Structure 1
Amino acid sequence: MQLPVQSQSTLYTEPWETAAGVEDLVEVARAADRGGFAYIAVCDHVAIPRRLADTMSTVWYDPVATLSFLAAATRRVRLLSHVAVLGLRHPLVTAKQYATLDHLSGGRLILGVGAGHVAEEFAAVGADFTGRGGVLDESIDALRAALGPDEYPEFAGERFTFSGLGQRPRPAQHRIPVWVGGSSPAAVRRAAVRGDGWLPQGDPRDKLPAQIARLQALRERAGIETPLEIGAIAEPLYVGKPRWEVGRRTLTGPADAIAASLREYTGLGVHQVQVRFRSRSRTELLDQMAVFVTDIAPHLTH
């Protein structure tokens, strides 16, 4: 699941989150850790322009600082950047940050990456917005080198070149998984040929089979035999009968019905599903997570 509090876009934030703080964030992360969730995720934006602040808000915690903080508060849950906007930073800076995070967490990092979409953000840090797709492609390649086992990584590309520069600590993992976010044709291509996983951005269920088929065809055409970890973001959930308006797209009802609905993702070719719970308070969110863990999650394994 993506954590509450740390990003507060009006597309998904709950009203109680605006007054929430660090303690709330930590308690939800610990509940995910105890409950056996696969990962907790944190978003990435550096600065939000006024024209977008009403919808996006300006609350976006730094992913590396936040995940490092939460690594110390958890034991086993993996830590996902969903997604790191690679074009905002030089690959060696990104490598230093995320290698340290992986080292400190004992190898729990999943590096989710994306192109970004806020032009003013790129301009403010002197980054290339119009060419961000090409920058992202090369950044992924550069990070493969910089996050590998070598203390002195080497890379030579059109935009980035480095050699003879040592970085320690090295990541705890021999190979940090890179999951590519996005549902555009370019993002799907990027995930197929450069990623270890794909993080679609809200594709409805009926759109997933065609996207997944294209992913697999592109990967096969590129001669890549290792399987791709395919994700999906489920509809919002509320286990039980809500006594308040949770929205028409929310999956509600008894646990067995929600479990059956979520199992349908397996038939579509999905390997992991990101879930989000409707809630009016931290307590209600933790209660929803708890009933999910006990009554739904055991019926989702295969």
Structure 2
Amino acid sequence: MRYGIQLPVQSQSTIYAEPWEADAGPADLVGIARAAESAGFDYIAGCDHVAVPRRLAAAMSTVWYDPVATLAFLAGVTERVRLLSHVAVIGLRHPLLTAKQYATLDHLSGGRLVLGVGAGHVREEFEVLGVDFEHRGAVLDESIDALRAALGPDEYPEHHGKLYDFEGLGQRPRPAQERVPVWVGGSSPAAVRRAALKADGWLPQGDPRDRLPAQMDRIRRLREEADVEGPFVMGAITEPLYVGTPGWDVGRRTLTGSPAALAESLRAYPAMGVDQIQVRFRCRSRTELTDQMAAFGAEVAPHL
């Protein structure tokens, strides 16, 4: 069972951001990334929004660090932890541009990239960049196909589709990995189907535990029916966690308790077929967060 974390600070939606993040910055991200690596986390992740319209800013905020720049920055201060875009809205950019950015990141990091992709949901972002919002699912489908070629081993990738057509254009450096893993994010029927047929893994969005088995069964069935082979990573986002007994209100949905109790609860995920969990900790400071991460890695994770 692998475990990873969506980095704080780099995205500050009111749904999950803690108050201390508002005044945090690069030094905090460095400390958290290093703590994740020390605690055995499989990956650190960053989100993607180009611009947030005023109508959504009160809920989403406008703090969304660029994932390529952020993950490249953190690649330079870590050695082993993988670098996940969760998720990159790849339909907003031409596949060759996306490939140039992420191939360079994979090359510079020594092959640590996991490319998480999603369809996006902010209409104004698409409109200002001249991308068809209504058909963003189809745009994403072809973008994945084009990126498979553009992130492959060939110096001169080739793709011929309805939206994108390229050949004879060289891009180096190539990714360090022979095949960059692509994980699809989202829990809609279209996203689940896309993950099953086009990806190497699935990143659910908001599925509670009781919904996951049916979703994963559908992925397995779709892959079997389409004769899609190869490794596939089933993911899950856990409830908020707090290792130990908190002395403050961490919210009723937060799982708290001894490491043994948390491990017993979290073992439900591998039991249902989940391969990796993304965890989030309630915390009042960077120090409390890194302490929680260390406790999880040392005392909870070994029992999963």
Do both proteins adopt the same fold according to a TM-score greater than 0.5, normalized to the shorter chain? yes
- The range that moved more, 222-231 or 8-17, is 222-231
* Matched residue SS, 1:81: strand
Structure-1 residue corresponding to 2:43:
39
Residue 56 of structure 2 corresponds to residue 52 of structure 1: yes
Q: CA deviation at 1:225?
A: 2.0
> Aligned partners of 2:102 and 2:230: how far apart in 1?
23
Letter of the 1:95 counterpart: A
1:230-283 deviations in Å (ceiling 9; x for gaps): 000000000111111101110001110001111110111100000000000011
> Aligned partners of 2:105 and 2:219: how far apart in 1?
29
> Aligned partners of 2:145 and 2:179: how far apart in 1?
13
CA contact (8 A) 1:146 1:153 kept: yes
Q: CA deviation at 1:227?
A: 3.0
- In the alignment, which of 10, 31, 46 is matched to residue 27 of structure 1? 31
* Matched residue SS, 1:150: coil
Scaled by the length of structure 1, the TM-score of the pair is 0.99
Structure-2 residue corresponding to 1:228:
232
Find runs of 4+ consecutive structure 1 residues off by over 2 angstroms. none
CA contact (8 A) 1:87 1:128 kept: no
RMSD of aligned alpha carbons: 0.6
Letter of the 1:205 counterpart: R
Superposed, 1:1-302 pairs within 5 Å as: 1-300=5-304
Letter of the 1:71 counterpart: A
> Aligned partners of 1:281 and 1:14: how far apart in 2?
8
1:124-175 deviations in Å (ceiling 9; x for gaps): 1111111100000000000000000000010000000000000000000000
Q: Which has the higher contact order (CA 8 A, sep 6+)?
A: 2
- The range that moved more, 288-297 or 271-280, is 288-297
In structure 2, runs of 5+ residues without a counterpart are none
1:166-209 deviations in Å (ceiling 9; x for gaps): 00000000000000000000000000000000000020000001
Report how many residues are paired: 300
CA contact (8 A) 1:44 1:83 kept: yes
Letter of the 2:221 counterpart: A
> Aligned partners of 1:185 and 1:268: how far apart in 2?
20
> Aligned partners of 1:291 and 1:100: how far apart in 2?
34
> Aligned partners of 1:15 and 1:2: how far apart in 2?
16
Scaled by the length of structure 2, the TM-score of the pair is 0.98
